[in-house]
Chain A
Amino acid sequence: MTTAPTARQGAVGTAHTRVEGRDKVTGAARYAAEIPFPGLAHGWLVLSTVARGRIRALDTAPVLAMPGVRTVLHHGNAPQVATDYPGLMGGKPDPTAAVFQHDRVPHPGWPVALVVAETPEQAREAAEALVVHYEQEPHDVVFTADHPRARPTGGFGPAVTEKGDLEAELAASAAVVDAEYTTPEEYHNPMEPHGATARWEDGRLEVVDSNQGTMWVAGELANLFSLDPSAVRVRSEHVGGGFGSKGVRAHQVAAVMAATVLRRPVRVVMTRRQMFSLAGYRSPTAQRIRLGADADGRLRALEHRSLSLTSTVHEFNESASAPSRVMYDADAHHTVNSVVRLDVGTPTWMRAPGEAPGSFALESALDELAEKLGVDPIDLRLRNEPERGPVSGLPFAGRNLSACFREGARRFGWADRDPRPGVRRDGRWLLGTGTAAASFPAGAGPSTAAVTAEADGSFTVRINAADIGTGARTALTLVAADALDVVPDRVRVRIGDSDFGPAMIAGGSTGTRSWSWAIRLAAAELRERLAPDVRVPPEGVTVRSDTTAALGALTQRERHSYGAQFAEVAVDPATGEVRVRRMLGVFAAGRIVNPLTARGQLTGGMVWGISMALHEEGVRDRATGGHYGADLASYHVAAHADVPAVEAHWVDDHDPDDPVGIKGIGEVGIVGAAAAVANAVWHATGVRHRHLPIRPDRVLLAGAPDA
């Protein structure tokens, strides 16, 4: 048949249920560890019980004699892998995933062995029975703001940015805020644990995995095992959450090693407890902010110093001063990101890396400044809207923060707010409201896509996207339908397969923007090729695209999503309990592709903000270096009862320079959310909480105003 376009309304911008929704609500959607393989063996990782030292010996003989055990892989017998290749961000890759290469233990929970057996029960018991002898060495896992080994470091921007005379501007200011803020270790905890099955088929390595980018994982596995990239295929169809944690990890590498040694498929799944050691986490931060302003609120001085930690084997920088480099300008503007290396696992990206903890400090400090000046917190922010990027000097490509605040204030009822703290009661509860600004970079990465016009009049899009719960599969279906000028039902989008070619990962809120760009390029060319009377051959007509050149041609601008966060809390001064009563966020996030799923992305981020403000805290035992309570009972993430009415709205946000017009929405929802809650707690109680989470004991110890 021919493919004459039919006049129709656009799909982008209207609500569509998820294309894989039926599979997800019926249990038919299969995640990585749920694909059956004949002859499958099960691997169970064994992690170090010491924080630092050397493996002296492993008593493998009794374990190998246990029922069903097929092998025990460790540094003495595992295949060698390469680690001197460029990683995802250009630098050296984190060697944490290169398991069993030496006898060193650089941090607690370091993988020391993989036990492979016929059944998961056999593998687990054998792994727990494996005795490992260590030569223990002293460790340092204690993160402090004044750690002597801390030093400034780059990565995600420069280590230091500086302009103006900070001390002079602070001295000339009518009001000054000088405060320290801390955020704890936070753990991604996607509901689906990391799991991978590896097998060799006709000389090709096949891995079924749960990740945020199959090309990323395939590329790293090819590098690690010195394979031609075409000899590795990684698939990841359904992903049960990632939040930054699902890249290359020990489980995939261990599974490939075992499949290579045993010549059969091997599956390795992390336990929830192991995820706390192997899946990455958000570094704790210690931040100092100094703000100085004129009496009318104009900032004269802004200093944001952030310290985070990293492991001894790899540097990751939780650059928490990032929001200060974009949000507010000042005559004197200084920012520093520092890290300290400790005997702990390597932290990694976690939903809004840098911006989430950084915005807690910055937006709390703005609230403190508003209090000192007697200026409304929203007015203070609007008076400091910069013309250009404070550090980059680039113009903004649309900065709709003020529209977010105006709309948010209207919907939330901000105008009626009494600014005095500690004066509202509802029975035993003290009530307060707070606000904060949000921003997150709107980036894109080079991507390829293939769009095929099928002979039956339908279209198939192949793009190596990942849908980790974002609704990307559905959003891309709508984008493709509009680009092809057909109804979404005629478009099938296939994702999560490294054989589809290079594409951006699901990370940094860049996925939907990057992938949509590639699909639109391919679709436009395909439509040109399909003149109204062209007959499509049985094999279809396929056009491939690559956005590398188009991205390079994009004008340099400060491109970001923005948001205004509002929270109302109730604080019980007798128990220290803080309850969020409602939250409202208004965002400027470019073109909203699918309002149904977009709302979930934004409110989901705000729920993370509640969780960050009140609950999440990874605590280390100084003696062992390990975690207290590495599980979902001790590491509490917000549950149903913690989450009240949470609303997300958006304003029109258009960038005329941008051919796609889509910005990311996965991360901006958490930015500023914890600060809005903390600012509301101050408004309720009159007490500033500068250390997260705002636990009941902290509320009790901090006291409450005289009521």
Chain B
Amino acid sequence: MSSAPSSTYSAVTLTVNGEKHTLTVDHRTTLLDALRERLDLTGTKKGCDQGQCGACTVLVDGRRNLSCLQLAVAAEGREITTIEGVAEGDGLHPVQEAFLELDGYQCGYCTPGQICSAIAVIEEHAAGWPSAATDDLRPEAGPPPLTPEEIRERMSGNLCRCGAYVSIVQAVARAAADRSAAKEAVA
């Protein structure tokens, strides 16, 4: 539908996991609700619906984004990646693999958000972004060691009420180590 049927609806084209979807959405619809209720991509979770828990974290143009705080109509033209689209083909993303193997979860409800966040954390760290836990902030210092403290600080926007933090941090550390080992092998 190219034109909006009323002043409270608009047509929007969302690019999700590489696929374009054209929808007519209520202007009040969040990106989170558009994914869950309209595109049946229920892997992205609604924990608080007000940007406080991180369960709805998706990647927008490769960066972490709370989909409950974003209106669907504002997401047009962006590359949205949800938990359903982080892996290539039928395999698992290395972060998913690490969460599975190290039991980085319990009830599983915060898990898609934790995994999306972790994927971005590993990229942000590799790109040299500092965090509040980083000691040496000089640009030339390069990425700090990805210590458990660094991971905890960077993942703190994603609550896990089951308290699976210990194994989540282990999973993120393993996935990050595997990634840098793979990069070194290529280089």
Partner-B contacts on A (CB < 8 A): 17-18, 20-31, 33-34, 36, 67, 119-122, 125, 188-193, 238-241, 243, 269, 271-272, 468-471, 596-597, 599-601, 603-608, 611, 631-633, 637-641, 643, 645-646
Q: Which residues of A contact B26 (CB under 8 A)?
A: 119, 121-122
Interface hub of A24, A468, A596 (most chain B Cβ within 10 A)? A24
Q: Which residues of A contact B148 (CB under 8 A)?
A: 645
Contact of A607 among B44, B46, B100, B163 (CB under 8 A): B163
Q: How large is the interface on B (under 10, 10 to 19, 20 to 34, 35 or more residues)?
A: 35 or more
- A271–B49 CB distance below 8 A: yes
Partner-A contacts on B (CB < 8 A): 8, 26, 28-29, 33, 36-37, 40-50, 52-53, 55, 82-84, 87, 92, 96, 99-101, 103, 105-112, 115, 133, 148, 151-153, 155-169
Q: Which residues of B contact A190 (CB under 8 A)?
A: 107, 109, 161
Q: Which residues of A contact B52 (CB under 8 A)?
A: 272, 631-633
Minimum CB–CB distance for A403 against chain B, Å: 23
- A191–B29 CB distance below 8 A: no
A-B contact pairs, 23 of them (CB 8 A): A18-B103, A21-B103, A24-B105, A25-B92, A26-B87, A119-B26, A120-B37, A190-B161, A192-B107, A240-B107, A241-B162, A272-B47, A597-B106, A600-B166, A600-B167, A603-B167, A604-B106, A631-B50, A632-B52, A637-B159, A640-B158, A640-B168, A641-B152
Q: Which residues of A contact B44 (CB under 8 A)?
A: 27
Knowing that A24-B111, A27-B43, A272-B50 touch, tell me 16 more A-B residue pairs with CB under 8 angstroms.
A25-B115, A26-B83, A190-B107, A190-B109, A192-B45, A192-B47, A272-B53, A469-B108, A471-B106, A603-B166, A633-B52, A638-B163, A639-B156, A640-B151, A640-B153, A641-B153
- B83–A29 CB distance below 8 A: no
Minimum CB–CB distance for A131 against chain B, Å: 21
- B161–A241 CB distance below 8 A: yes
Minimum CB–CB distance for A367 against chain B, Å: 24
- B29–A121 CB distance below 8 A: yes
Task: Provide the bound-state CA to CA distance between A604 and B156, in Å.
Answer: 16
B160 to chain A: closest residue by CB: A191
- A608–B163 CB distance below 8 A: yes
- A637–B83 CB distance below 8 A: no
Minimum CB–CB distance for A338 against chain B, Å: 30
- A600–B156 CB distance below 8 A: no
Q: Which residues of B contact A646 (CB under 8 A)?
A: 165-166
Q: Which residues of A contact B48 (CB under 8 A)?
A: 272, 631-632
Q: Which residues of A contact B159 (CB under 8 A)?
A: 191, 632, 637, 639
A18 to chain B: closest residue by CB: B103
Q: Which residues of A contact B28 (CB under 8 A)?
A: 121, 125
Q: A631-B48, A640-B168 are in contact. Are A243 and B84 (CB under 8 A)?
A: no
Q: Which residues of A contact B153 (CB under 8 A)?
A: 640-641
Q: Which residues of A contact B40 (CB under 8 A)?
A: 36
- A243–B100 CB distance below 8 A: no
Q: Count the A-B residue pairs with Cβ separation under 8 angstroms: how many?
A: 179
- A469–B162 CB distance below 8 A: yes
Minimum CB–CB distance for B101 against chain A, Å: 6
A469 to chain B: closest residue by CB: B107
Contact of A596 among B103, B151, B157 (CB under 8 A): B103
Q: Which residues of A contact B99 (CB under 8 A)?
A: 25
- B107–A241 CB distance below 8 A: yes
- B109–A25 CB distance below 8 A: no
Task: Provide the bound-state CA to CA distance between A34 and B40, in Å.
Answer: 8
Contact of A643 among B33, B92, B96, B166 (CB under 8 A): B166
A42 to chain B: closest residue by CB: B37
Task: Provide the bound-state CA to CA distance between A646 and B33, in Å.
Answer: 36
Contact of A26 among B43, B133, B158, B167 (CB under 8 A): B43
Minimum CB–CB distance for A182 against chain B, Å: 24
Task: Provide the bound-state CA to CA distance between A238 and B42, in Å.
Answer: 13
- B82–A27 CB distance below 8 A: yes
- A240–B156 CB distance below 8 A: no
- A469–B42 CB distance below 8 A: no
B90 to chain A: closest residue by CB: A26
Q: Which residues of B contact A240 (CB under 8 A)?
A: 45, 107-110
- B165–A607 CB distance below 8 A: yes
Interface hub of A20, A34, A243, A641 (most chain B Cβ within 10 A)? A641
Q: Which residues of A contact B84 (CB under 8 A)?
A: 26-28
Task: Provide the bound-state CA to CA distance between A23 and B112, in Å.
Answer: 10
Q: Which residues of B contact A20 (CB under 8 A)?
A: 108
Task: Provide the bound-state CA to CA distance between A600 and B170, in Å.
Answer: 12
- B165–A34 CB distance below 8 A: no
Minimum CB–CB distance for B24 against chain A, Å: 12
Q: A26-B83, A469-B107 are in contact. Are A17 and B164 (CB under 8 A)?
A: no
Task: Provide the bound-state CA to CA distance between A638 and B33, in Å.
Answer: 27
- B161–A243 CB distance below 8 A: yes
Task: Provide the bound-state CA to CA distance between A431 and B38, in Å.
Answer: 53
Task: Provide the bound-state CA to CA distance between A239 and B107, in Å.
Answer: 6
Task: Provide the bound-state CA to CA distance between A410 and B152, in Å.
Answer: 28
- B151–A604 CB distance below 8 A: no
Task: Provide the bound-state CA to CA distance between A604 and B159, in Å.
Answer: 13
Task: Provide the bound-state CA to CA distance between A640 and B52, in Å.
Answer: 14
Q: Which residues of A contact B42 (CB under 8 A)?
A: 27, 30-31, 34
Chain A to chain B: the 3 pairs with minimum beta-carbon distance, closest first: A27-B43, A240-B109, A469-B107
Q: Which residues of A contact B110 (CB under 8 A)?
A: 191, 240
- B161–A643 CB distance below 8 A: no
